Amino acid sequence: MTKFIFVTGGVSSSLGKGLTASSLGRLLKCRGLRLTMCKLDPYINVDPGTLNPFEHGEVFVTDDGGETDLDLGHYERFIDESLNRSSNATTGSIYSAVISKERRGDYLGRTVQVIPHVTDEIKERVYRLASDEIDVVITEVGGTVGDIEIVPFLEAIRQFRRDVGRENVCYVHLTLVPYLAPSGEQKTKPTQHSVTELRSRGIQPDVIVCRSDQAISQALKRKISLLCDVPPEAVVSAVDARSIYQIPLVLHDEGLDEHICRLLQFDLAKYPADLASWTELLRRVEATEEEGAPRVRIGIIGKYVNLPDAYLSVVEALRHAGFYHGASVEIVWVQAEEVLAMLASNSVHALHDLDGIVIPGGFGERGVEGKIAAARYARESGLPCLGLCLGLHVMVIDFARHVAGMDGAHSTEFDPATPYPVIDLMDDQVDVVNKGGTMRLGAYPAQLSPGSRVAKAYGQETISERHRHRYEVQPRFHNKLSEAGLVWSGMSPDGRLVEMLELGSHPFWVGTQAHPELKSRPDSPHPLFKELLAAALARAEGRAPRILDPRELE
């Protein structure tokens, strides 16, 4: 029978529930258990797809086209399993489902209430993930105990233990143990209050994970154990780590996975911990931090750079590639709106000292001209450049304007009157979009050109990547742009849609319509990011030919 682990948080937001849940998932997988994960979010939006990145960070897209919370990215990267749209449920989606059932008459005219109708819908979202192929479902409950929005979720997970049996459910509660400098000691009172609040909702935690900036002493563990009614071995010290990929080993050293396996009655002899692969990963991570490790500076040309979580998967994909190459990756945030002024100045600018750039996806006109200018600068100066989704669009626009002679070329997303709409809605999309149709979402196949840079990077010619966009490179301009030297190195299987582009004469100027960052893993970095880092390292070490900035010739 499938077992269920619920992870809640208290005291403060941003303590790291998602990373704790992900790390626990990795530890259980290292024991040979089959698992999946999900996130219950208390906000009323139906999904994160319409949320401003400044509000909520990036939207993580699953293979089946689900627009989900960014924590699912952590889950996938840690447990190395592809999740789906069922792995994320919000208050909005739950209430929407309940109201739809009421309108259809599914409740037979009964009064619809939070208990049992809403809580039953919440439980159904978790139950549907269980199967004969899954040993454990780990569910993170968003928000903080005490928030008004979280109450129905706590009631739903409280009912789980009654529904499936005490031996099949484990509650993990994450709290904060702050250090107060004036008194020179760590304080357990926030943890006590948080657990009291959780218990007032009928949930007695089985494990308390204590976040702190320094280790928690055995005496403090005994105190928390006594006051919160858990055994001392169930009080886990989660100290700040230099890298998020250290967290699984920190929690393992504290005995978290072993204690939970005992609680859920998994045979430890049958499921021993094998952490060799993760330990090897951590060795590579630490090697990038050593003195003398190669270093590269990669600029991210974005418009949400004041909130790095908006590009979380891009940053992690770059770091994964760094682990592979044994190189330290310094992320340089470049505000897209400032690029034009930066390049127009006569002084040496921020782009000049970079070893490579990534132009990530996004929506809206703000900063687009700066991204186009950055793509042009990278093309003309030999700076390695990887364009993602909108990044591919601006690369096409740059090439059309400045190489193919299409003055004024643009995307109709930003300039409906452009004389050369090289980026536009496909003819069969226009009516659908005008009626509120959805984007091209989820995994789509692509056929790569034999011998192309991207085919060599992937090591195969048929691939699948995740998408999130509406606008495409227009087929009627394909020939004109390719005749000018732009290489369409990846196409949809029917040959209609551009999936990849590159320039054969450039060290690395590659664009993809997809979001490859979503499929990168710390122990299996994405091929395109690996190749970008290889080109950036060659530039940093002086092994790549460098095209000079025209101002340097003056």
Under 8 Å between Cβ of 371 and 359:
yes
Residue of 242 and 347 predicted with greater confidence? 242
pLDDT in tens, 8-45: 998 887 788 999 999 999 999 999 999 999 999 998 88
Which 8-state DSSP code applies to residue 110? P
pLDDT in tens, 446-490: 999 999 999 999 999 999 999 999 999 999 999 999 999 999 999
Give the dihedral sign, CA 316/39/62/471.
negative
Q: Would you please indicate which residues are annotated as catalytic (active-site) residues? A: 389, 515, 517
Under 8 Å between Cβ of 119 and 159:
yes
Strands 136-141 and 3-9: parallel
Per-residue model confidence (pLDDT) at position 543: 61
pLDDT tier, 516 (very low <50, low <70, confident <90, very high otherwise): very high
**Does residue 181 carry a pLDDT above 50?**
yes
Per-residue model confidence (pLDDT) at position 553: 30
Per-residue model confidence (pLDDT) at position 346: 66
Given strand 410-411, what is the order of strands in its sheet?
410-411, 421-424, 472-473
Q: What is the mean pLDDT of residues 294-300?
A: 95
Angle (CA) 304-309-313 rounded to 5° is 105
Under 8 Å between Cβ of 87 and 39:
yes
**What tokens appear for 393 in the block?**
């669009």
Cβ contacts of 167 within 8 Å, gap of 6 or more: 263, 264, 265
Give the dihedral sign, CA 267/270/271/275.
positive
Per-residue model confidence (pLDDT) at position 278: 95
Backbone angles phi, psi at 230, to 5 degrees: -130, 155
**What tokens appear for 142 in the block?**
């968003």
Round to whole Å and give the CA distance between 156 and 240.
31
**Does residue 182 carry a pLDDT above 90?**
no
pLDDT tier, 367 (very low <50, low <70, confident <90, very high otherwise): confident
DSSP letters along 405-470, please? --TT-EETTT-TT-SSEEEE--TTTHHHHHTT---EEEEEEEEEPTT-HHHHHHTSSEEEEEEEES
Cβ contacts of 384 within 8 Å, gap of 6 or more: 355, 356, 357, 378, 507, 508, 509, 532, 535, 536, 539, 544
pLDDT in tens, 92-128: 999 999 999 989 998 898 999 999 999 999 999 999 9
Cβ contacts of 46 within 8 Å, gap of 6 or more: 90, 92, 93, 96
pLDDT in tens, 211-240: 998 889 999 999 999 999 999 999 999 998
Per-residue model confidence (pLDDT) at position 432: 42
**pTM of the predicted structure, to 2 decimals:** 0.91
Given strand 35-41, what is the order of strands in its sheet?
88-90, 35-41, 136-141, 3-9, 169-176, 207-212, 235-239
SS3 assignment, position 495: coil
pLDDT in tens, 322-344: 999 999 999 999 999 999 988 88
